[in-house]
Amino acid sequence: MAAAGDILQVRELSKSFGRLQAVDGISFVLEAKKITILIGPNGSGKTTLVNLISGFYKPDSGDVFYKSKRITGWAPHRVYRAGIARTFQIPALFSKLNVLENVLVAEKHNPGEGFLRAPLERLWKAPEEASTERAAKILEILGLSKLWDKRASTLSGGQMKLLEMGRALMSGAELLLLDEPISGVNPTLAHEIFNTVVRLSEELGVTFLIIEHRLDIALGYVDNVIAMAYGKLIVSGSPDAVISDPRVIEAYIGA
């Protein structure tokens, strides 16, 4: 059941590819400002579920509500503008732009370079400065300040994942969907990334839904866990309860 503090509600969501039922009647709610991880064996439907919430796929049936507004079937840019941003299993950055530029291009109200802009310079200069300030603050929380003028392509894998998060935050998103933010990242940086996630949720009130395989690292930082297998939600609850649940253990052994 949805409650007042819930930011996202997913109801009986389903998606198949041909005969494969990738997401099969999934329902859950996300409480605002909490960190939830989505776990499950390879191919259990985690990325598909995130694609359905973020508008990259249209569900066959079911509904998604964001802040009580029905967003089912909305196009990705519309979902993004509503306040849900996502990252990808492989970071999607502008490799030739520097760190600061990558964050700035994500700004939702970026006035752009329309032909009226030059004569109206006075009008756009002020927001541009405010954007730069916000970008600087985000880079500071992410620990990327010193790298602001480095090309995105020269960053380490972990730094790219942080930068991708920065871009999502710059859009003003209140709900971040992260697809394996620490995959291929060394343990030290992986802990740093999860510490950053905790800071972002505490200081900026961001809600997180994070797909993650590396439970040894992730579990210590999260409020809730949702476990999937074969497209279905099998268990959800506190990290301890979910991890010790025989159905979850069986799903991993069976996979």
The residues binding ligand ATP (CB under 6 A) are: 17, 20, 22, 40, 42-48
Q: How far is CA 143 from CA 85, 113, 243, in A?
A: 20, 30, 31
DSSP state of 180: -
Q: Which is nearer to ligand ATP, 79 or 227 (CB)?
A: 227
Considering only CA atoms, give the Rg of the chain: 19
Least distance from C-beta 43 to ligand ATP, angstroms? 4
In the list Mg ion, ligand ATP, none, the entry touching 249 (Cβ below 5 to 8 angstroms by class) is none
**How far is C-alpha 3 from the geometric centre of its chain's CA atoms?**
22
Q: How far apart are CA 173 and CA 53, in angstroms?
A: 14
Two structure tokens written together for 56: 């990259």
Least distance from C-beta 76 to ligand ATP, angstroms? 15
Q: Which is nearer to ligand ATP, 64 or 100 (CB)?
A: 64
In the list ligand ATP, Mg ion, none, the entry touching 40 (Cβ below 5 to 8 angstroms by class) is ligand ATP
**HSE (CB half, 13 Å, CA atoms) of 161?**
24
Q: What phi and psi, each to the nearest 5 degrees, are found at residue 43?
A: 80, 10
Q: Which is nearer to Mg ion, 36 or 47 (CB)?
A: 47
Least distance from C-beta 214 to ligand ATP, angstroms? 12
**How far is C-alpha 45 from the geometric centre of its chain's CA atoms?**
16
Q: Which is nearer to Mg ion, 47 or 87 (CB)?
A: 47
Q: Which is nearer to ligand ATP, 17 or 70 (CB)?
A: 17
Do 61 and 12 meet the contact criterion of CB atoms below 8 Å apart? yes
Residues 13-52, interacting with Mg ion (CB under 5 A): 47
Q: Which residues make up the interface to Mg ion (CB under 5 A)?
A: 47
